Chains A and B, each alone.
Chain A
Amino acid sequence: MSQAGLAFEQAPPLGAPLRLFLIAPWFLVIAALAAIPSAGDWTAGRWTPAALGLTHLLTLGFLDTVMAGALLQMLPVLIGSPLPQVRPVAWLAYGGLGLGSPLLAAGLALGRPPLLDAGLLALAVAWLPFLVAGAVSLARAPAVAAATRAGMRHAWLGLALTVGLGLYLGGGLAGLWPLASPVEFTRLHAAWGLLGWLLMLVVGVAYQVVPMLQLTPPYPAPMTRWLASLLLALLAAYSAQTFLIEHATADLAGWLGFGAAIAWFAFATLRLQNRRRRRLPDTTLDFWRLAMACLWLAVLFAPLALFAPEPWRDPSQVVLGLVFIVGFAVSVVAGMLYKIVPFLAWFHLQAQTGARAGTIPNMKEMIPDAAARRHLMLHLAALLLVLPAPFLPAWLSAPGLLLLAASGYVLWRNLDQARRLFLQYGGRLD
């Protein structure tokens, strides 16, 4: 009988995930502000130095920082197996991502090898222990939570490949070693990072949290059984094709395969949410619906980004990146934070102080609905204004980017309010 599966109590202290959650919004703010003066550059194409730097501020600085924090907390609950050495792993992720994300982004945007070196070193310090601890946790997970465990294992592989390819490419750019096939490996780095890690993790988590939060029926059995494996098989096929056949043909096959899988997932999620038992307005639900709508938009828009004639293709690819990263991923992550943070603050406070319910703030007092909804509105407005930016004069992107920066600040302030109340009522972070 697996003992590791029973260690419910080995959840980390609140400070471990919360520190990561509280630095992440600042990278959203920095990315949005840095995008204003560099708009003439990044709107022109995804390979521009500014676009590469901004992408990594958003993915590593915001998305991965939150996802790493959430996994520290959620692995024990979702798959019944905690991360070993969770405190040092959390501190290294905090320091490594906190320093590595801006250094790498600056190195990419400015083309400075010393910044790249330092950024890569910090990111390796963050990710390698996290990957080892994650592997131990997954290996020890009991066999019962099968669908979610499979999703997490595939996501682990996606993260490991993304990090490995990223270190290889970054080291090559910094002049540490010669790069073979840089274009092909960059395609794979992006595909595994966005689909093999980010989307895979969202899929695995969604199986549990979508029914949990809104009291919906479970996802259909064929989806929980096959979707994660299907995504993995598609990624493997796409990776092989990238080296073997013309890129345009690989892109077409990739669009058909990934497009069908993604559309299926988004459709199933929206359908479940429509059949929810809990009918009250809910900001997290709206963030998720926006995210699923953006997945559909990404699938529909992708042909333009992949196959449009030359002058249209480059800006279309930037739009596609914005739809997926800001529209889909940032929305899901923000929605989850509005459940995770107030709950953890309440839960740890109650457990630490033994306070009777009613004498400490409940979830909706930790972060009021109205405050979370202000963030949603800013995020939505920013998204609508920023999405067409690559097709417009550069200066027109400024209002949307300012709203995006404001949305990041409001997210930080909302999360920080939960932290302040937690401390005010006598909670201990470590």
Chain B
Amino acid sequence: MSPIADLLSTDHIHCDALFADAEEATAERDWAAAGRIFADFRGAMDRHLAAEEDTLFPAFEARTGMRGGPTQVMRAEHEQMRGLLEQMQTAVERHNDAAYLGLAETLLMLMRQHNMKEEQILYPLSDQALGDDAALVGTLDQTLHPA
């Protein structure tokens, strides 16, 4: 049983798919679609980062006593992602495909190496420490998939 890893890893795949669609629409300079899909992508990212920062990380820190280590690094990389997403928003609004594609390439590398660390290390450890906490898993699910 690995409910936390399953839930959050599946959401990574969902975010990746929206990322790819937004990037493709931008490369084709289909700005109406790009704006719409990018908004979906950014919304999904915001929910994912919020689920981790507001629910998973505090519970993980409280249960394991590890405050300065992995979750701090994850939070710092989340901030780097938010910075890139902000600039990508500007690039979509200004119809600047070159800027968007350079930022998107950077975000993808940041995001995927970050996800790798989460999926290989942090989520399995979270499941070991917190996997039986049904309320926590329920809160994560609701944050990722609001009604």
Contacts and interface: CB of A to CB of B under 8 A. Distances in A.
Interface of A: 1, 5-9, 77-80, 142, 144-145, 208, 212-213, 215, 277-280, 339, 343, 346-347, 350-351, 356-358, 362-365
Interface string B95-119: 0001101110110111011001100
Contacts of A213: 108, 112
B116 A278 contact: no
B87 interface: yes
A9 B106 contact: no
Contacts of B73: 8-9
Given A6-B66, A77-B113, A343-B106, A142 B121 contact: yes
19 contacts: A1-B125, A6-B122, A8-B73, A77-B117, A79-B120, A80-B120, A142-B121, A142-B124, A213-B112, A215-B19, A278-B24, A280-B101, A343-B113, A356-B86, A358-B103, A362-B103, A362-B105, A363-B102, A364-B101
Nearest to A9: B73
A144 B106 contact: no
B37 to A, nearest CB: 13
Contacts of B121: 5-6, 8, 80, 142, 144-145
Contact of B69 (A7, A277, A278, A350): A7
B69 A365 contact: no
Nearest to A8: B73
B76 A358 contact: no
A343 B109 contact: yes
A362 B102 contact: yes
B70 to A, nearest CB: 4
A212 B69 contact: no
B16 A358 contact: no
A79 B72 CA distance: 19
Contact of A77 (B86, B105, B116, B129): B116
Tell which of B73, B90, B101, B109 has the most Cβ of chain A within 10 Å.
B109
Contacts of A350: 80, 83
B144 to A, nearest CB: 20
Given A77-B117, A343-B109, A364 B83 contact: no
Contact of B106 (A1, A6, A78, A346): A346
B7 interface: no
A362 B117 CA distance: 22
B83 to A, nearest CB: 4
B80 A78 contact: no
Interface of B: 16-17, 19-20, 23-24, 27, 64, 66, 69-70, 72-74, 76, 80, 83-84, 86-87, 90, 98-99, 101-103, 105-106, 108-110, 112-113, 116-117, 120-122, 124-125, 128-129
Nearest to A356: B83
Contacts of B80: 347, 350-351, 357
B102 A351 contact: no
A212 B117 contact: no
Contacts of B99: 358, 362
Given A9-B73, A277-B16, A277-B20, A347 B101 contact: no
Given A8-B69, A8-B73, A339-B109, 6 more contacts: A1-B64, A5-B121, A6-B69, A8-B74, A208-B116, A277-B20
B20 A278 contact: yes
Given A279-B24, A347-B110, A358 B87 contact: yes
Contacts of B17: 215, 277
Nearest to B118: A8
B8 to A, nearest CB: 14
Nearest to B80: A350
Top 6 A-B pairs, shortest CB-CB distance: A364-B102, A357-B83, A362-B102, A277-B20, A358-B87, A145-B120
B84 A357 contact: yes
Contacts of A8: 69-70, 73-74, 117, 121
B101 A1 contact: no
A212 B27 CA distance: 20
B106 A363 contact: yes
Contact of B20 (A79, A215, A356): A215
A351 B77 CA distance: 9
A48 to B, nearest CB: 43
Contacts of A79: 120
Nearest to B71: A6
B87 A357 contact: yes
Contacts of A144: 120-121, 124
Contacts of A9: 69, 72-73
Contacts of B101: 280, 364
Nearest to B21: A277
Contacts of A347: 80, 110
B61 to A, nearest CB: 12
A80 B23 CA distance: 30
Contacts of A358: 83, 87, 90, 99, 103
